[in-house]
Amino acid sequence: MKSLALENLSKTYFDPYRGTQHTAIKDVSLKVDEGDFVAVVGPSGCGKSTILNMIAGFVPTSGGRIMVGGREVRGPGPDRGVVFQSFALFPWKTVAENVTFGPKMRGASKEERAKIAEEYLALAGLSHAADRYPNELSGGMQQRVGVVRALANNPDVLLMDEPFASVDAQTRMTLQEELTKIWEERRPTVIFITHDVSEAVFLANKVVVLSKGHVLEEVDIPLKRPRVWDDLVEDEAFKTLSNHVLQLVRRA
Amino acid sequence: MTAIYTIWGYYARWTARWPAMAAFVPFVPLIAAWGFIAWLEIFPPVFLPGPVEVVERAWTLLYKGILTDYLADSLSRLAVGAAVGMCIAIPLGVLIGLSRRAHDFAWPILLFFQAIGDIAWLPILLVWFGFGLTTMTFVIVYTVLFPVVLNTVLGIRSVKPELRRAAQSLGASKPRILLEVTLPGALPNIITGLRNGLGYGWRALIAAEIIVGTSGIGFLMFDARRAGSVEEIVVGMIVLGILWYIVDSWFLAPIERATGQRWGLVTS
């Protein structure tokens, strides 16, 4: 795992209907330390997904630099693992084949891949579903596969784009707790995009509030770990922090 | 009432064991109606033979080996034509689906030639290649080509962009993405194209055999007209229907069940 730094990042789109330039991101600088967990929140249209797509290399930047472990990145690459809101699992591959897709691409042997599948499916609690196809799984199970598929490829940073936005509320809380547990054990560098304020506060060490393409405020979350919802729902510090971030987002 | 349910239960269990029979049952009233009208002799029997006469004729043709020979001829022509058509159409469809430039270049040409139906090529093909296998193969390849190309393009373009992105950020190279993501994603559409293409190709082949042929089911039917044997014409028609049913339900449908339906890309 490595650190991630955005230096004066900007993105402008050409609007073909109005014939003008539209600024989506202006001058965003942000540092995610090695092994840190940073959440980015903001109202829809604030540019948070654009930032993630630029870090992932799916869309080009208009200015500034993206550094992973001190090296500038251009275009998509296996050093940045991505977890998608729509899961983006390969429907024609089994769960095990999805999880070992990254290792297969870098030329891992069959035995090596079997070991990786075993380890990461156990991590996701999905050992029983190794040979199933994604469409045979529930949304929550599909996204567990999505998370471990990214992790199994040993990325330097993990990029998560509203990964739990399309599962039901109960499953979402379970997935959040599982993700925290994995993070506490393995300490990957994570940047997590969400519009859900309590999700951001629950998961992250630092919450970045984005507004109209720039950083409004960075809020440190010094809540103790391990974090579970049963402890935090009644926790005063959690409530105060959530309220503070919520006020910022509503003003944004 | 309970008697009906009991009979229905027997029927359901029986057809579950013999699915081919379940496909035959809907034809029973149709054949009965045909037999009844033929028996009434509203039309002279020379014009409308009954089912019994047709089955007898089919048996004779089978016995003499003519039907099997002609059937083998027609099927091998279709197989060769379809194979050649696929070998051209799938790579072409992939290229057009992937490349904007190839699309802009090839699309007008495709639309232009699609409008010239397969049969419309026969006059010039006869001048070029004469009454032979080349002409018939050309017609089938031509017919199979368009549905497969158009559906392949559609399939390639309907692969969700996130899947390509996911593969990219897992370290897949461009050729690997084509192999592991784009092609499997397009497969259900390619199969649909193949299904349509073979269906059109089968019809085009019969038409070509009627005009060009020296053998085959189409030739059998047209030759029977010359000999004034309506039974033989009807035998030909029935064989066409049965054969397509077999190709579709024994080959194409199982492929579809094992791929697109299994993956949840198409609903059954």
pLDDT of residue B63: 86
pLDDT at B159 over 90: yes
- Which two three-digit tokens encode residue A70? 């001190």
Cβ contact, residue pair A88, B180, below 8 Å: no
Q: Which residues of B touch A142 (CB under 8 A)?
A: none
Say if A175 falls within a structural domain: yes
Count Cα atoms within 13 angstroms, Cβ side, for B165. 22
Say if A139 falls within a structural domain: no
A15 phi/psi in degrees, rounded to 5:
-95, 105
Residues of chain A with pLDDT under 50: none
- Which two three-digit tokens encode residue A32? 């995610």
Cβ contact, residue pair A86, B168, below 8 Å: no
Q: Which residues of A touch B189 (CB under 8 A)?
A: none
Give Cβ neighbours of residue B46 (< 8 Å, ≥ 6 apart): B228, B230
How close B106 gets to chain A, by Cα (Å)? Answer: 27
* Among the partner residues B169, B185, B187, nearest to A78 by beta-carbon distance: B169
| B137-157 pLDDT, tens digit each | 898 999 999 999 999 999 999
Query: Secondary structure of B29-71 in the HEC alphabet?
Result: HHHHHHHHHHHHCCCCCCCCCCHHHHHHHHHHHHHHCHHHHHH
Q: Which residues of A touch B184 (CB under 8 A)?
A: 90, 92
pLDDT at B71 over 80: yes
What are the domain boundaries of chain B?
Answer: 52-261
A55: nearest CA in chain B? B169
B182: nearest CA in chain A? A90
Instruction: Determine the Cα–Cα distance for residues B73 and B71; give it in Å rounded to an integer.
Output: 5
- Span B239-254, average pLDDT: 86
A160: nearest CA in chain B? B166
CA A3 vs CA A65, A207, A220, B34, B245: distances in Å = 14, 16, 17, 80, 62
Selected for mutation to probe chain B from A74, A82, A84, A90 (highest B CB count within 10 Å) is A90
Q: What's the CATH number where A10 sits?
A: 3.40.50.300
CB of B175 less than 8 A from some CB of A:
no
Instruction: Determine the Cα–Cα distance for residues B192 and B189; give it in Å rounded to an integer.
Output: 5
Instruction: Determine the Cα–Cα distance for residues B25 and B222; give it in Å rounded to an integer.
Output: 30
Give residue for tokens 């073979």.
Answer: B198
pLDDT of residue B50: 86
Instruction: Determine the Cα–Cα distance for residues B3 and B6; give it in Å rounded to an integer.
Output: 5
Please name which of A135, A97, A145, A146 lies closest in space to residue B263, comparing C-alpha atoms: A135
Selected for mutation to probe chain B from A101, A141, A159, A160 (highest B CB count within 10 Å) is A101
Cβ contact, residue pair A84, B166, below 8 Å: yes
Alpha helices per DSSP H over B180-266: 183-212, 217-227, 230-246, 253-256
How close A89 gets to chain B, by Cα (Å)? Answer: 7
pLDDT at B268 over 60: no
Say if A135 falls within a structural domain: no
Instruction: Determine the Cα–Cα distance for residues A139 and A123; give it in Å rounded to an integer.
Output: 17
Say if A201 falls within a structural domain: yes
- Tally of structural domains, chain A: 1
A192: containing domain: 4-79+155-251
The strand pairing partners of A32, in sequence order, are A4
* Among the partner residues B171, B187, B264, nearest to A105 by beta-carbon distance: B171
| A67-104 pLDDT, tens digit each | 998 899 989 999 999 999 999 999 999 999 999 999 99
Cβ contact, residue pair A90, B180, below 8 Å: yes
| B178-211 pLDDT, tens digit each | 999 999 999 999 999 998 999 898 888 888 888 8
CB of B170 less than 8 A from some CB of A:
yes
Q: Which residues of B touch A77 (CB under 8 A)?
A: 168-169, 171
pLDDT at B267 over 70: no
- Cβ distance A158 to A181 under 8 Å? no
Instruction: Determine the Cα–Cα distance for residues A104 and A86; give it in Å rounded to an integer.
Output: 23
According to CATH, what is the number of the domain B52-261?
1.10.3720.10
**Structure-derived torsion over alpha carbons of residues A96, A182, A42, A34, reported in degrees to the nearest 10:** -110
Q: Which residues of B touch A88 (CB under 8 A)?
A: 160, 162-163, 165-166
Say if A183 falls within a structural domain: yes
